[in-house]
A and B are shown apart, each in its own frame.
Chain A
Amino acid sequence: EAQVTQNPRYLITVTGKKLTVTCSQNMNHEYMSWYRQDPGLGLRQIYYSMNVEVTDKGDVPEGYKVSRKEKRNFPLILESPSPNQTSLYFCASSFGTGHQPQHFGDGTRLSIL
């Protein structure tokens, strides 16, 4: 089954404790992206990657890191999480950057205390 898998689905942690949210897709998609969803703000793009070893900042990259060492994986790293990073996070992937719609994971709800 074609899917984008994020883990964990829920996480409560404390300020400053490094965490990684994994994202994996099995569709051989070149393009992968991370978004955060906050009430009233919609989805905002954090980072995106157009292929292996190619990443670029989205609209809200501060406090986040990503890597794309393999085509299927695109982990989101919070080196020193802070409460303002409490949010619902989505990973997405697609073929290319044009007309193809993105396939989204089920979301990861992060709470930073």
Chain B
Amino acid sequence: AQKVTQAQTEISVVEKEDVTLDCVYETRDTTYYLFWYKQPPSGELVFLIRRNSFDEQNEISGRYSWNFQKSTSSFNFTITASQVVDSAVYFCALRSVAGGTSYGKLTFGQGTILTVHP
């Protein structure tokens, strides 16, 4: 069985602070993909990034960066210089593609509610 844990239920920061959202996953498979999605107050789910299990390169996109560490089964997301528009629920997700009973399943974490105050 696969599992994704986002231990931080809610985070509150003041604008311009940096914030890191943690994601820890469990899977027995060696081939898998990790994703981050954003759900703003309007409710839609917006894809942010994916990473495959063979690519541990960190990635930066503007104020967003992601740190994938296979050794600790973590895929953390950092927002630098946060803004009010970053306020949303953020979900980490895992998809196994190696076959077996989890093949094709996409498992989400519980989500982290981020509130950025002006």
The distance in angstroms between the C-alpha atoms of A45 and B103, with both chains bound, is: 13
**Contact residue among A31, A35, A42, A104 (Cβ-Cβ distance under 8 Å from B104):** A31
Contact between A40 and B110, CB atoms less than 8 A apart: yes
Q: Does chain A have a CB within 8 A of B13?
A: no
How many residues of chain B get a CB closer than 8 Å to chain A's CBs?
A: 24
Residue from B9, B50, B108 whose CB has the most chain A CB atoms within 10 Å: B108
Give the size category of A's interface with B: 20 to 34
The distance in angstroms between the C-alpha atoms of A95 and B108, with both chains bound, is: 19
Q: Is the interface of A mostly helix, strand, loop or mixed?
A: strand
> Given the complex, which residues of B lie within 8 Å of A65, measured CB to CB?
none
The distance in angstroms between the C-alpha atoms of A42 and B89, with both chains bound, is: 10
Smallest CB–CB gap between B29 and chain A, Å?
12
Contact between A42 and B91, CB atoms less than 8 A apart: yes
Which 10 A-B pairs give the minimum distances between C-beta atoms?
A101-B47, A104-B45, A43-B108, A42-B110, A97-B104, A42-B108, A42-B111, A98-B97, A99-B33, A42-B109
Contacts A92-B45, A97-B95, A107-B44 given; 12 further ones with Cβ under 8 A?
A33-B106, A41-B110, A42-B108, A42-B111, A43-B108, A43-B111, A88-B43, A90-B45, A98-B33, A99-B50, A101-B47, A107-B43
